[in-house]
Structure 1
Amino acid sequence: MSKQEEKDKRDIRTGKEEICTEIPADVPQNEWEERQMMKTIHDYTVSLAQKMEKSRLDEYTALLFNPRRLIWVNVMGGIARGVGIAIGVTLFTALIAYILQLLGALNLPIIGDFIADLVRIVQRQLDTKMY
């Protein structure tokens, strides 16, 4: 290989040499080897078809070709996520309020003062007019 050919094989941006590997095709020598090769190809093809069916690729492509259904599915998914987040935040806030109420009943010096400050802030906010 000449110097010019070596330079041509190098990547311009990195200066690294490309790795070109060719997989030699095994040419069957007799009928038995040919049958084995065909069986292997068949097994790989069946395996690939099963994986594609399992991934439900056909349903996904059908969804992509129907924009109205795609929008509907995404809107419903967004509504479901929004409702789920609202319910989750409500339950979490209720749990925190319940725990703070239990801690306030214990009359712990630092936590009790903190809760009293929170109650005062909330009361002041409720007493002020918003308009």
Structure 2
Amino acid sequence: MKEHHQVKNRRLKKQNRSSDTEEVKRLENLVNRLDEITTKSRMKDMAYHFTKPSEVIKTNLIAGVARGVGLTVGTGLFLAILLFILSQFETMPIIGEYIGDLLNVVEDERE
């Protein structure tokens, strides 16, 4: 009976090892495919940059303008909200005077 269990245990160990090696091989194949895909895409990107410099310049110019406009609009909105919040504190007794002066300076600079 004991020998039967030992033989059964050995068979199970061999089966586990074979399934582990199959899983490792599958994982290696997946990693190799991912490596191929990323390498090919890099080559495609490099070829695009070297063959069409005018397209690259156009793309970068548009991206730079979009960033600049976005930054300007975002800063304007942020400052408008900040000044609105500060104007709500103008009626407070202690810091209201300082905020009122600050808002007056901002209004004078706008004109």
Question: Could you state the TM-score of these two structures normalised by the residue count of structure 2?
Answer: 0.60
Q: Per residue, is there more helix in 1 or in 2?
A: 2
Q: Distance in 1 between matches of 2:53 and 2:32?
A: 32
Q: Distance in 1 between matches of 2:53 and 2:103?
A: 51
Equivalent of residue 95 in structure 1, options 58, 70, 81: 81
Question: 1:115 is matched with which residue?
Answer: 99
Equivalent positions of 1:64-83 (< 5 A) are 64-65=49-50, 66-83=52-69
Unaligned runs of at least 5 residues, structure 2: 1-24
Is the aligned partner of 1:48 residue 2:24? no
**Post-superposition CA distance 1:6-34 (Å, at most 9, x none):** xxxxxxxxxxxxxxxxxxxxxxxxxxxxx
Shift of 1:45: 4.2
Q: Distance in 2 between matches of 1:47 and 1:125?
A: 58
Give, as a single letter, the amino acid of the residue that structure 2 aligns with 1:79: V
Q: 1:67 to 1:79 in 2, by over 3 A?
A: same
SS in 2 for 1:110: coil
Equivalent of residue 45 in structure 2, options 48, 60, 73: 60
User: Percent identity of the aligned residues?
Assistant: 31
Number of aligned residue pairs: 85
Aligned CA RMSD, in angstroms, stands at 2.9
Return structure 1 stretches of 4+ with deviation > 6 angstroms.
none
Unaligned runs of at least 5 residues, structure 1: 1-38
Q: 1:116 to 1:64 in 2, by over 3 A?
A: same
**Post-superposition CA distance 1:33-57 (Å, at most 9, x none):** xxxxxx79x836434213335xx31
Shift of 1:116: 2.1
